[in-house]
Chain A
Amino acid sequence: MSQKNRIDGGLIDRQSTLNFTFDDHHYTGFKGDTLASALLANNITLVGRSFKYHRPRGILTSGSSEPNALVELIKGSTKEPNSRATTIKLFDELKAKSQNCWPSLKYDVQSINDCFAPFLTAGFYYKTFMWPKSFWEKVYEPLIRRAAGLGELVSLPDPDHYDRGYRHCDLLIIGAGAAGLMAGLVAGRQGLNIIIAEEDFLFGGRLLGENEEINGMHCHDWIENVVNELKAMPHVRLMAKTAVFGVFDQQTYYALERFTDQIDTIGPRQIIWEINSKHVILASGATERHIAFGNNDRPGVMLASAMRDYTNRFAVRPASRVAVFTNNDSGWLTARDLDKKGIEVTAIIDVRSEYEHQKIAKKYPNIPVYSQDQIIKVHGYNRVKAITLLNGAKIHVDGIAVSGGWNPSIHLTCQHRQRPTWNDAISGFVANEASLPSGMKVAGAAKGTYTTKMVLQDGLNQANIVLSELGHASSKMHTPSANDDTYHGKTFWSVKETKQRAWIDFQNDVTTKDIRLAVQEGFYSVEHVKRYTTLGMATDQGKTSSVIGIGIIAETMNKSIQETGTTIFRAPYVPIAIGALGGPHSGKHFRPTRETPSHQFARENNAKFVETGAWLRSQYFPDKNESHWRESVNREVLGTRNNVGVTDVSTLGKIDVQGKDAAAFLDKVYCNTISTLNMQRCRYGIMLREDGIVMDDGTVAHIANNHFIVTTTTANAVQVYRHMEFCRQCLWPEMDVALISITEQWAQYAIAGPKSRHLLEKIIDNDHDISNTHFPYMACDEISICNGIRARLFRLSFSGEMAYELAVPARYGDALIRHIHEIGKTFNLTPYGTEALGVMRIEKGHAAGNELNGQTTAGDLGLGKMVSKKKDSIGNVLSEREGLTDPMRLVLVGVMPCDSKHKITSGSHIFANNLACIPDNDLGYISSMAYSPMLNSYIGLAMLRNGTDRFGEKLRAVNLLQNQDIAIKITSPHFYDPKGERLRG
């Protein structure tokens, strides 16, 4: 019983037997098989169910155009749904399952849908399921959704790894069939750097499935010789299992390499390659299409070329009694090759007249030929049993080889919205040579050249053209001798005499009737028909079906095919795993992590960290006996306010500004005046956007002559630097000023609290006087610490305490925090995190991210007077627009609950008492809140309509989302030490 359909010959390794299971049954195959060929070898022809009607389906193709034979590949607890059996390289212990069927592939309950087919026509759902209204959500939609989809996704993380890579070459050849290999050989011998990318795991393309001679040898031997020669060339890279799926701008190509895929070898499962090549030869071949006739979707119906592939390449008998149904010469090749392998061909049914096919018929005298005939009906359910012809004859067969002509694979020529041209002679769309992507040439079957000899010659010619464009000598090679029978075909889409439904798109169950109905309902554009019927939208992307659909639209509307046109071709050429596109950036590696200079120290001291953009910052430092984070934060605040605290502020953006126009430049970018700032002094500064809204705030330190250091908020560091470079390079390039970001170069610690000076005095070198007289609030200087280490000291305070920021080159950051910690022990130093920082800034009423939200003006934040009207600065003019100076704008205030036990919530909206919570009554919202251990109450900052006039008013903080309605009183935002005596102490 094992592999009963296996025959002689082929490109399989009979020494390597591979075990696999399909629907839990065990089978064997050989190395070189695909899952599809191995299933056929084991006489399995029913492999899937269609999407809508759950019709039984077999294997239609032998490649990536397969619409039917989709399976789930199982590996451990994960699986890969919708995998084409025709492209899965068989490996040992492969486990596959059929999908979209229940309880089993053979007896699928939902095949009942087929009985309701008269209702389930194209677009049926748009007209129905509307009565009664409530039934859609509760009854109809859940039913439809349950039936949706094909394969199943496991809800566990994808355990596989994916990677990305970049490659560059002189010439990229897409497809390693006759044209691609020939082009590669020619260009390779002349020394070009080449990449040849082939979707299949073997090189050779269409030739792998043929039984003909090139240069007097079997074409398989010719392939082997050429591939061996190319492999020996160091400048040629052959990439198998690599599908080029997209053409992007500036000659950027993207390819997917199925590197290890399911096979357990070392390395990522798949790799996305970005390939940059100024020259490309597209040798992607052509895809055979079928013909629509009654019940043409039954298992056993197969493309004629696929039958040749299974017979010649995989040494498999796809059926034992075969009828060939064709409208062109290539169907006849299948009859010939099957016959040679001893497979009975009972009939060649050719829609053409004897005159039209006489040339090829002469070579095949032994097979019954039915000219100008058609198959009107297929008998059988799970497998073809017989056919009825137009002439009434009924023939018993178990396989039908169909050839409806060929579609050149022009996908990659049209991804930039180019429209292909209909070529009547080959009955297919070809690329419009005038509008190819820059640098691309098309060779071989991809441009409608269908005889082996001419394909080889075209490959040679195109390679020679590339060689000459690159200034290389052209090759003296001759075209190998090969079959040069001319190709003849006739445009023929569907059997009109058929009474049964005739399938166009197998997976989505689109029949000729659906197309005609769509046109009848006024869907004339090919885009409309596609959307109305779902033609070509299945996982095979319409590779076999789209052109037939277009042909039938044209026939129905009495238009030419060129007039009917195609839908837009879009990347990807083959479906690409989302995991592969995500590459290595999953889990914690989604984005880089930036650690501060004190990170290691903080970790050793039990810090909890918080993501702040890309940074990880210390959030708080819990003590052993603290069970709630707020205990830690309260302790950190009190420790800082009563003694001294230290926190890492290295994440603040730091920009070094130098040059003789530095001060004038800063006058332009800050809305307040900087040029009056004395040396060794700092000033708070606000930057506006050109639209007058606050962009960022920070400090400006005049550290030396013509030398400033400005800080930005952590969140805006990148944008502010970019903006300042814009001002420097694009607006005022004549100014003598240079900028550099020094955020990472300096570690910076804020040391805050009444004992901060005493602590610092133990760290800085003796020759620096930091007494209040010599180094008052807002002083800054370049100093040295720890016996000569260069440092910068700024007397700045975000906490409202007497405070300093001490900066050292980043390499000393770790040592410095440890040193501060050590010295600090005698001062009861408390390391604090972003939470305590936040509490203290709210106590002081400083605006931060929640208030600097891109919607507030300087005036809104109570800083309107800082906008100097004596000078030009970014945002100055537009900040005066009426909407931005409206007295009814929301402005910054403080809020406290009337009952200090009540907690207020950020995001609550503010309403007056006794007024309904409707938009017109909305007075603003709470932007930030914290528990203040100094005030023993929750406190908050709020943006309040007309807020400065409301100090003392009692209002409500309403949080409908969390069912809160809290009485609050409005205060000044400066809760703690409003006169600022502590920071000047």
Chain B
Amino acid sequence: MFSYCTDPSALDGLAWLSCYLTTGNHMLFYASFGTVLLLLAITAPVALLFGFGGAMASRSRIAGVRWFGRIYTSMVRGVPDIIFFLFVPIALDQAFEWLRSRVYCDPSVPVRQGNEFIVCAAAKLPLSTSPEWVHQAYGIFLAVIAFAVVFGAFAANVLHGAMNAVPHAQLETAEAYGMSPRQVNRRILIPQMWTYALPGLANLWMILIKATPLLFVLGVEDIVYWARELGGAKTRAYAYPHPDWRLYYFLAILVFYLLMTWGSERFFDRIRARLSRGQATAAGEAMRKAAP
């Protein structure tokens, strides 16, 4: 990175540290913080969408859709989430490869041969000829789906509760004005449910932040992966030999997460105040009285 970094063995002190912290691998380590933020940025809306769908489905008038929604929302209960994080990506991967193998391969060859899951080269996902970043991106894609499925179920739970918490009189008034069920949903139910949903959703966001290190379990090169890689003891064979520093790398990650949760809490306090404005709740009433 810096011009004086050409011969690391001659350096010491701060100069050594500044060169050490700007090596190519360290740049990848810093970029992996971006991966975590990217995962959060993609997963949160997708999970909210899943949750919204699940909540609407479990309120549906059609029995089949309602049952689907109920089963989806109760699916994650009672089972450790990490099982889903291990299960969903493999299951999805195999489903995609199986579908592709029916199209691109000889359909007479079974995919499961004893203990092996074999598809021909043309059906592999991603193709073995594709570059490394495609493999990484595919891994992240599967992780996003897994996170969205699990957190979608939880968001559905929260949103379902919030929809039930909207005062019934409000919906009945809307009906009395001659609104169709759709209009009631769009104009009355959905705008009002957020203030009830916010505590649950804020909680969920905190949990989502704290779930991101599980990317490591899914085989994505995330911060945990790089902390273990870079922190491990390096011998003279490497340009920057050092003893086992994993403790310090993990401390840095810990601080990163503490800052994230602390910042989020401040943010949600603001939104909570904004959403309570003009609502028929205790908090909204207190704000109304406090206003001059």
Q: Do A and B bind each other?
A: no
Using a CB–CB cutoff of 8 Å, the interface residues on chain A facing chain B are none
